[in-house]
Every structure is written in structure tokens, then in C-alpha cells.
Amino acid sequence: MEEKRKHLRTDINEPAYVSAGGSVMRCVVRNISQEGAAIDVDNPAFVPARFRLVMASDSSTRDCTVIWIREKRIGLAFTSPAEAN
């Protein structure tokens, strides 16, 4: 399969949260790059097209847009630089 990403992704296995509209859902970040990430969630139907990803380790946040969904994995693009909290 041809690699289409501009930046290589780093495999990680870190807990995080999908935050949107006052609700929060747990997820696991499986890989990440400067431009996006792949996350696993229990139910992708509850993930909105745009949300904020909050990393559990340091509470840093990134605004995101869903690019693709395959079963419980979601590919996303970052729409803002990382913000430390």
C-alpha cells in the first residue's frame, strides 16, 4: 500500500479524551504525527466530525477533524497546534 502521509507517524498507546459540546469520551491514541493521529474508541458513532483531543498524560489539547473511520479506529487531522494546559 502506498504511503500518502507527509509526516511519519509514531506508534504510541496513550490514553486520551475526545471532548466536544460538553461531553467527554475515553479513547486511546495509537499513532501520532505533526498533522494527525489514529485513535481507538468504543463507539465511533458518538464521535463528532470536529472535536478536541485531550491527552491524559499532560492535558495538552489539539482541535481535530475526522478523516476516516474503520470499525473502532478513527483517523484524524489536527486543525490547530498543540496547546499545553
Task: Look at residue 26 and tell me if it is in a domain.
Answer: yes
Whole-structure pTM value: 0.88
- Residue 26 near residue 15 (C-beta atoms within 8 A): yes
Tens digits of pLDDT across the chain (85 residues): 445 556 688 999 999 999 999 999 999 999 999 999 999 999 999 999 999 999 999 999 999 999 999 999 999 999 987 777 6
Task: Look at residue 2 and tell me if it is in a domain.
Answer: no
- Residue 22 near residue 48 (C-beta atoms within 8 A): no
The CATH number for 55's domain is 2.40.10
3-state DSSP helix/strand/coil percent for the chain, to nearest 5? 5, 60, 40
Task: Look at residue 52 and tell me if it is in a domain.
Answer: yes
- Residue 51 near residue 79 (C-beta atoms within 8 A): no
